[in-house]
Chains A and B, each alone.
Chain A
Amino acid sequence: MGKKWLSFLVMGILVEAGLLGYTAAISSAKTIRILALAWPQAPVEQELADKYFTPKTGIKVIIEAQPYTYNEQKARQEVAAGSSYYDIYHYDSQWGGNYIVSGALERLDTKEYLLSPDSTVDFDRDFFPELTYRSGKYPTIGAELDKGNFQAFKDTAIYGLPWSQNCEVLFYNKTRFKEAGLDPESPPDTWEEFREYAIKLTNPPDRYGVGFSASPAADYISMEFFPMMWSWGGALWNPYDWTAEGYVNSPETIAALEFFSNLYLKDKVVPPDTPNWDMDPKLSALLTGLVAMAPEWTPLLGALMDDPKASQHVGQIGMSVMPGKKDPATGEIRRFHMYGCQGTGINARSKNKKEAWQYLQWLVSYDTQKALTDNAAAAFVSGRRDLRYYAAGLNRWDKAFIDAIPTIRDFWNIPPYAELLFIQNRETNLAFMGAKSAAEAMNYAAKLQQAIYDASPYKPKG
């Protein structure tokens, strides 16, 4: 019996020593971990880090790319646990507010980081503000940024540097255009033209004019609807006093939603399952020619459309800015594009903040950003001013994105965004399917969203 105990004890000590030794070995080389979004640029960034950053600094970089849906869940669980496992978080713009109020992100406009004399990054000098202010600074007011009033946020706290820049533009199939007797070099300029073209391009069951991700999950249907809503002159809310009534259910928003819904209900120019479509069916539909037009994120489709392994219409897909709506007052065409940019910031609980900052400085440097842009597999556009037009000269989808920048808009980045977005998605989807009228849906959305604004401790006082 005594021998049994002794052997057990010896085994336990050996295992423990082995584990301790292994842990010591792997932690003696500094390693930073990044919780990244599973975008095309993540593996390219890993390659560049292995090739250039690690040999130069001795800091190992591990980029863990998580699918979009689970990335926020993972990050928030880490934050709630007070974890220092990850050193850097990537985040979508709407998540930013929550991350910041939860204390997840390190403030960067301090002497340790951007204001350090050794810093190689100057936020205002290096990055163009139209996109980077929304993802990097908090709190901001989208309506002021829309007007170009960046000065109002010059001293606003900075929590993130730009990681990924993109927006939705209109992709269309030139072959289908030709088949329908439409000029393949003249995509629709207005929403009315868009509808006319869609009707001509529709010949069910295997030819439809338009594809939308109209599912109420994630942010899908709202991403399709918001550019339409804005071009009608509609709005989601009053960002100054957090009011929904009169904005999300304004006559303009309702009219835009009626137009959007009628594409499915009356004109029947979208496939029948569209109200349940997320991004994958829409991508497949465009790449196989089932639909002739679809709004889509520039790098996502850009990277696939000329890849023969993914696309059945290589070289035949064109892109343009989103259609617009004529402003009755000025006669100008009002068009908008959906913001799709993400930021990157340091975990406030990281034990390797110095190394994480070193990495971020390297990541946003001219050379690294250019290397990412030059690699087509990364489907990347830089937020740097000095590279703003560089990508546009390399490929068509980045040119479409650069052209769209002045008209890119975003929605909430405030802490209760998730519930607000859920309501918006659900009601828009119900109107799209015809289960409710556009007015009923948006009136109900206004009521529910106002209750959320009013209950939020972050609502502006007075």
Chain B
Amino acid sequence: MKGKVGERGFRLILYLPTLIFLILMSIFPLIFSIYISFFDYTLGQHMSFVGFGNYGSLLAGPPFWSALKITLQIAALAVTIEIFLGIFIAFLFNTQTRGVNICRMIIFIPMMLSPLVVGFLWKHMFDAIFGIINYFFGLLGGPETISWFTNVRLALLAIVIVDLWEWTPFVALLATAGLQAIPPNVMETVRLERTSLWLRFRVLYLPYLRFPLLVAVLIRSIDTLKIFDQVYVLTGGSPGESTVTLSMYVYRLGFNFFYTGKAAALSWLMALISVGLITILIRVLSQKSA
């Protein structure tokens, strides 16, 4: 018994550094941010308790609803297109042709890059005068100097395009895993029976893709709801406020204006919204699966 207690104690000692790190770097900041969200606090100045005042003033202000709308627009558009495009790419590379592995590797490179790097890369590509995107538009007969970041719709579209480029491979990866789980004899049987493409997809492929796609939708939804890096680099929230997402709004409150209490309150509102939306998504998609 004494030996077991000593062994358990020793194991606890080994866990301790990680536990202390987690408490200091994750748990304490989390709890402190809830605490500070109930105070009117500008960084470095006097704190005064306002209860739910920060939450109330955020919910009462147009900037919050505008940021929420923009965030949901980006999330809905990006995730929907990524799912369809990801499935298409997965099918495209679901062959044993020579060189397909190298192609898969190249396709997956974008998702390994830092979002900030991706943002800077695409900022140059979207440049109105020297950008390669406009160059190809010009070659195809379109206008040569599209100013992507000074038009409200185009700025939003640019952000979605960048997100698609970076994260569609992730969806393709998950879809590929689903396709590769299909037993070869089943594939052979279906091929010999010469069923229609749609029937084949619905009866054969979809059951194996369901779970990976559910995971893809959930993960991508969470990611796009908190999108920040690309927006910060590409547009900074402009033109006007047309690309200010919830994360950009938190950054602005906390790091431009130093309204730390309000920024903490908005972060928690974001967390609640994300949890709510994801819960609804899981229920809906799980029901459809059943």
Contact = CB atoms under 8 A, between A and B. Distances in A.
Interface of A: 1, 4-5, 8, 73, 76-77, 79-80, 98, 101-104, 204-206, 215-217, 271-273, 275-276, 290, 418-419, 422, 426, 429-430, 433, 435
Contacts of A275: 147, 149-150, 238-239
Given A204-B145, A205-B129, A275-B239, 19 more contacts: A8-B10, A79-B44, A80-B260, A98-B44, A98-B258, A102-B45, A215-B236, A215-B238, A272-B145, A272-B150, A275-B147, A276-B150, A276-B236, A276-B239, A290-B129, A426-B238, A429-B239, A433-B150, A435-B152
Contact of A273 (B3, B128, B240, B252): B128
B154 to A, nearest CB: 11
A69 B203 CA distance: 55
B22 interface: no
A1 B10 contact: yes
Give the 9 A-B residue pairs with the shortest CB-CB distance, closest first.
A102-B44, A276-B149, A272-B128, A272-B147, A273-B128, A80-B44, A79-B44, A217-B236, A275-B150
Interface string B92-135: 00000000000000000000000000000000000111000000
B262 to A, nearest CB: 11
Main secondary structure of the interface of A (DSSP, over half): helix
A426 B44 contact: no
Contacts of A77: 43
Contacts of A73: 255
Contacts of A419: 257
A276 B238 contact: yes
Contacts of B129: 205-206, 271-273, 290
A74 B13 CA distance: 35
20 contacts: A1-B7, A1-B10, A8-B13, A76-B43, A80-B260, A102-B43, A103-B44, A104-B44, A205-B129, A205-B144, A206-B129, A272-B129, A272-B147, A275-B149, A275-B238, A276-B149, A276-B235, A276-B236, A419-B257, A429-B238
A141 B66 CA distance: 37
B256 A429 contact: no
Given A1-B10, A273-B150, A422 B238 contact: no
A89 to B, nearest CB: 12
A287 to B, nearest CB: 14
Contacts of B3: 1
B241 interface: yes
Contact of B43 (A80, A422, A429): A80
B10 A4 contact: yes
Contacts of A1: 3, 6-7, 10
Interface residues of B, number: 30
Contacts of B260: 80
A283 to B, nearest CB: 15
Contacts of B150: 272-273, 275-276, 433
Nearest to A75: B44
A398 B235 CA distance: 34
Nearest to B232: A217
A5 B14 CA distance: 11
A70 to B, nearest CB: 9
Nearest to B149: A276
A433 B241 CA distance: 13
B6 A216 contact: no
A422 B252 contact: yes
Nearest to B5: A1
A429 B252 contact: no
Contact of B258 (A4, A76, A433, A435): A76
Nearest to A99: B44
Contacts of A433: 150, 239
Nearest to A206: B129
A422 B240 contact: no
A429 to B, nearest CB: 6
Contacts of B7: 1
A435 B149 CA distance: 13
Contact of B240 (A102, A272, A426): A426
Interface in B126-165: 127-129, 144-145, 147, 149-150, 152
Interface string B5-45: 01100100100000000000000000000000000000111
Contacts of A273: 127-129, 147, 149-150
A104 B44 CA distance: 9
Contacts of B236: 215-217, 276
Contact of B10 (A5, A215, A217, A435): A5
B258 A216 contact: no
- Residue from A4, A273, A290 whose CB has the most chain B CB atoms within 10 Å: A273
B45 A101 contact: yes
Contacts of B237: 216
A229 to B, nearest CB: 20
Interface string B217-259: 0000000000000000001111111000000000010011110
A422 B252 CA distance: 10
Nearest to B9: A5
Given A80-B43, A429-B239, A435-B240, A418 B258 contact: yes
A205 B134 CA distance: 12
Contacts of A276: 149-150, 235-236, 238-239
Nearest to A435: B240
A85 to B, nearest CB: 15
